[in-house]
Amino acid sequence: MKSIVIDITNEGEVKIETKGFTGKACIEESQFLKDLLGHETARQLTPVYYSKANQKEVTRKHLPLCG
Amino acid sequence: MSHVARIELEINDLDSLKAACKSLGLEFVPDQKTFAWYGQHVGDYPLPEGFTLEDMGHCDHAIHVPDAQYEIGVVKKRGKYTLLWDFYHAGGLETALGRGAGKLKQAYALERVKKEARQRNYRYLEKKTDQGIRITLMVQ
């Protein structure tokens, strides 16, 4: 499940986290929130960001060659 | 999780600000052109960016806070709204709304996200946390 979590502190500070997205989709899908609430002052990318969408795992099988 | 962003809040939607005032029991007074404050700047803190001494006390709309002597001025400038207010303790605003009017900013952000979530037909969950409020939007 893809979700966007918005934490708003009692001091009015806003933090946005995206969950379940892969690659740059998280930036695109949450941009509307940044635009409507103000402007981004800091961004921290997590490892999932660097994974490509629809990336398929390829298993290579090697035959043992003798001789 | 794929990324975390911190946002500096800007007020750009008057309807959400009105809804925030209502949720906190404050009175949004449209077209009130002055707001109550100490009446003179004593220079102990900087004015908001882009504002001069002559701007103090003048506004486009005002917010009346029950049990507070002072009021909040809402000023429209370059497409967004700035809240002008005097946090001198005798005015009662900081007591009612917290440091930096945090409660009002929080309520505004909440209403703004809620409104957008409705328009986009996102599933919306809200819960209180130790530090404030957490909203979760379920994206299809």
B5 is a domain residue: no
Does some domain include residue B133?
yes
| Residue ranges covered by each domain of chain A | 3-50
User: Could you give the number of structural domains in chain B?
Assistant: 1
Nearest to B72 by CA among B42, B43, B107: B107
**Amino acid at site B63:** I
The residue of chain B with its CA nearest to that of A9 is: B132
Cα B15 from Cα B118, distance rounded (Å): 14
Is the Cβ of B72 closer than 8 Å to some Cβ of chain A?
no
Q: Is B1 among the domain residues?
A: no
| Residues comprising chain A, all counted | 67
Residue pLDDT, tens place only, A16-62: 988 888 777 777 778 888 888 987 777 777 666 566 555 554 455 55
Cβ A4–B137 below 8 Å, yes or no?
A: yes
pLDDT of amino acid A67: 42
Residue B99 structural domain: 14-138
pLDDT at position A49, please?
A: 59
The whole-number pLDDT of residue B129 equals 96
If you write DSSP's letter for every residue of B94-139 in order, what string do you get?
HHHH-GGGHHHHHHHHHHHHHHHHHHHT-EEEEEE-SSEEEEEEEE
Q: Please indicate whether, in this complex, the C-beta atoms of B12 and A36 are within 8 angstroms of each other.
A: yes
User: What residues of chain A lie within 8 A of the CB of B103, using their CB?
Assistant: 10, 12
User: Which helix (H) or strand (E) covers residue A19, if one does?
Assistant: strand A14-19
Contacts of A3 in chain B (CB under 8 A): 136-139
ipTM over 0.95: no
Tens-digit pLDDT string for chain B (140 aa):
467 888 888 999 999 999 999 999 999 999 999 999 998 887 777 888 888 888 989 999 999 999 999 999 999 998 899 999 998 888 999 999 998 899 999 999 999 999 999 999 999 999 999 999 999 999 87
- Tell me whether residue B111 is in a domain: yes
Q: What is the pTM of this model?
A: 0.84
